[in-house]
Every structure is written in structure tokens, then in C-alpha cells.
């Protein structure tokens, strides 16, 4: 039976939780202990599928989905952005409720829907939650919840992760790594963008496709209505030197990126991106995770929404 908006999660629904013990802010058994404490006290049936690395996430998510389907349960992802992405890729289209216990640095996806980054609070919210269908994007058939990109932006994310491994996870570390990365020379891309109605040629260092109102608001790209209309938002810029790139980052920190004369943004439901050079494989980032894909790149709004579990009581939703 298809899941509809506002469907409450029954009190006896078992929870099958994919827990990435190596992600985000996970410290020792702290996250696991918090989950067990809340669910044991509530008498809720659950099972943890613990993984220590991202390479094991898809298999664990498929096991959790199989159990949820056979026992009328829900699949829950506990971890950083990459964990939420990997599990949602498996759950999308399966007509199984999907919940999150976010552990990421910025947590744009969870904050957008009022889901706390505090594990105990988020776990308690699952016990009295309802389904909210949410839009997700796809790049060559792979889900992204917040954004997907190519060019300079994946380089920034790779360097940011290296800095976090060395200096710890914080927004200041993320900012410092970005400033260092932008000092290097970056290859410009010659792209052909086709949305089915119009073809445009663009020379740029990066293109980012967004699916999150909160992130757009925070950097100052005023295209939120596009998302509300069932579209994705493409963000790019004309080629920039190092100082101009620093200025762009500063505008983003001040929530004024959209005011930069070099920035281009537009909404779409489907966008085909062709690279003019002969390389068939291109490095992309989806929700902070790096992978290589074959070009051309096909960005689109997923046909089915993700049945996300959110707090039933609106007053319990945390405000971003």
C-alpha cells in the first residue's frame, strides 16, 4: 500500500537502523548508546546494522530494507551526509518509511525538516513521527538530497575532508581548507547545457545543482521558489581568478552570493550536461561524497518523493 503524506508511524513499527560508526561526529559508542537508551526505554523493537566504512553502507542498507519490507518496518540512516545519501539511494521507490539520525557537520537536510542533530532528541522524534514526501534530485540515476556538483566544488570537498581528518570537524576547518584550495589554479570546463527546451554553452570552473532551500538561503541564492515548484537549481559562475573566488566565498558567508555579477543560477527539472573535451569520466560530488561518472551527466528531479519521517508535533521540529 503506497505511503501517503501525513501517515503516522505506528507505535509497533520496527526500526531497522543503518549506523555508520565511522562517520561524522560519532565518538566511540556514544551515538549507539543514545539510540539504544531511547528505544529500549520506549519498548520499541529495532535492529542495528553497524558499518565501519562507507563501502559497506549499500549492503547494510539493502539488508535493512529487506527486513523492513518483510516485517512492515522503517529504515533509518544514522550518520553523516554520505550515510543519509547511501541509504536513501536504496530506499527511494521502495514504499518504506525513511528516517534519519543526522551526524553531519552542516546537516542541511535534517535541519530543513526540523530533525535534530542531537541523537537522543532525533530518536525520540522518530517514535511519534509522520511521513512527509520530500523532493530529491538524481544525477545519472543516483540520489542526492542536498546538492551535486562537478569541477572546482568536488575539489573543495576532497580537500575539506583531508583537513577534517587532520584537524577535526568544524566549520572553521572547512572554511580554512576552502581558502587554501582556492589558491591553486583550477581547470576551466567547457560545457553544453540542455534542458530539453534550450541549449546554452558555458565556460566555468564549477557547476553546483542544489535541492535544499536552507543551503540556498544561507549562501544567498534566491531561487527557493524553484524548489517549491518541483525544480532543482543550477548555480555556476563565469571563470574567476583567485581574488574573485575569495570574494565569492565571502559573499556566500554573508548570504549574498546571488548579488555577485559573475554568478548564474536557474531552475530546471531535467538538465543534460555535456563536456566538450574527450574525457568520458568526470569527478562529481553528491552530498559531499566523491565519485567518478560517465558523461554526459543527467540531472533530474526524481519521479518519486522520499517518504521522510518527521516529528508529528510541529512545535517539536527544530528551527534552522
User: So what's the pLDDT on residue 277?
Assistant: 65
* Tens-digit pLDDT profile for residues 138-183: 999 999 999 999 988 787 777 666 666 676 666 676 676 666 676 6
User: So what's the pLDDT on residue 52?
Assistant: 85
**Structural domain boundaries in the chain:** 15-135+304-316, 142-301
CATH of 142-301, one of 3.40.30.160, 2.60.200.40, 3.40.190.80, 3.90.1150.10: 2.60.200.40
User: So what's the pLDDT on residue 315?
Assistant: 75
CA 46 to chain CA mean position, Å:
25
The per-residue b/e assignment along 230-260, b for 16 or more CB within 10 angstroms, e otherwise, is ebbbbbbbeebeeeebeebbebbeeeebbeb
User: So what's the pLDDT on residue 261?
Assistant: 87
The SS3 call for residue 57 is helix
User: So what's the pLDDT on residue 137?
Assistant: 98
Ranges under pLDDT 70 in the chain: 1-2, 23-28, 159-165, 167-171, 173-174, 176-180, 182-186, 277-279, 319-320
DSSP H helices, 212-293, are: 213-219, 224-228, 242-253
Residue 292: how many CB atoms within 10 A of its CB? 10
User: So what's the pLDDT on residue 301?
Assistant: 98
pTM of the model: 0.89
The per-residue b/e assignment along 159-194, b for 16 or more CB within 10 angstroms, e otherwise, is bbbebeeeeebeeebbeebbeebbeeebeebebebb
Place of cell 532551500: 213
User: So what's the pLDDT on residue 74?
Assistant: 98
User: So what's the pLDDT on residue 162?
Assistant: 65
**Total residue length of the chain:** 320
Q: Which CATH superfamily is domain 15-135+304-316 in?
A: Probable inorganic polyphosphate/atp-NAD kinase; domain 1 (3.40.50.10330)
Amino acid at each position: 500500500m503506497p505511503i501517503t503524506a501525513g501517515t503516522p508511524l505506528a507505535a509497533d513499527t520496527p526500526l531497522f537502523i543503518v549506523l555508520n560508526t565511522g562517520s561524522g561526529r560519532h565518538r566511540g559508542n556514544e551515538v549507539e548508546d543514545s539510540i539504544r537508551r531511547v528505544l529500549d526505554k520506549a519498548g520499541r523493537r529495532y535492529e542495528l546494522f553497524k558499518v565501519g566504512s562507507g563501502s559497506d553502507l549499500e549492503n547494510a542498507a539493502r539488508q535493512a530494507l529487506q527486513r523492513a519490507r518483510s516485517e512492515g518496518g522503517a529504515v533509518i540512516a544514522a550518520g553523516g551526509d554520505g550515510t543519509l545519501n547511501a541509504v536513501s539511494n536504496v530506499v527511494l521507490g521502495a514504499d518504506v518509511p525513511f528516517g534519519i539520525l543526522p551526524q553531519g557537520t552542516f546537516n542541511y537536510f535534517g535541519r530543513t525538516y526540523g530533525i535534530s542533530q542531537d541523537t537522543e532528541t532525533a530518536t525520540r522524534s522518530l517514535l511519534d513521527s509522520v511521513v512527509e514526501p520530500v523532493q530529491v534530485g538524481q544525477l545519472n540515476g543516483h540520489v542526492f538530497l542536498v546538492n551535486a556538483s562537478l569541477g572546482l566544488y568536488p575539489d573543495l570537498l576532497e580537500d575539506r575532508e583531508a583537513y577534517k581528518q587532520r584537524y577535526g570537524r568544524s566549520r572553521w576547518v572547512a572554511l580554512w581548507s576552502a581558502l587554501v584550495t582556492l589558491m591553486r589554479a583550477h581547470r576551466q570546463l567547457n560545457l553544453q547545457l540542455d534542458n530539453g527546451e534550450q541549449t546554452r554553452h558555458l565556460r566555468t570552473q564549477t557547476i553546483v545543482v542544489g535541492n535544499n532551500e536552507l543551503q540556498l538561503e544561507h549562501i544567498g541564492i534566491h531561487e527557493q521558489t524553484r524548489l517549491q515548484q518541483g525544480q532543482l537549481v543550477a548555480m555556476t559562475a563565469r571563470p574567476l581568478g583567485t581574488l574573485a573566488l575569495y570574494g565569492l566565498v565571502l559573499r556566500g558567508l554573508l548570504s549574498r552570493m546571488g548579488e555577485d555579477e559573475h554568478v548564474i543560477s536557474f531552475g530546471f527539472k531535467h538538465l543534460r550536461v555535456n563536456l566538450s573535451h574527450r574525457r568520458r569520466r568526470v569527478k562529481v560530488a553528491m552530498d559531499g561524497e566523491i565519485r567518478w561518472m560517465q558523461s554526459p551527466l543527467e540531472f533530474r528531479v526524481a519521479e518519486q518523493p522520499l517518504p521522510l519521517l518527521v516529528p508529528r508535533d510541529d512545535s517539536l521540529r527544530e528551527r534552522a
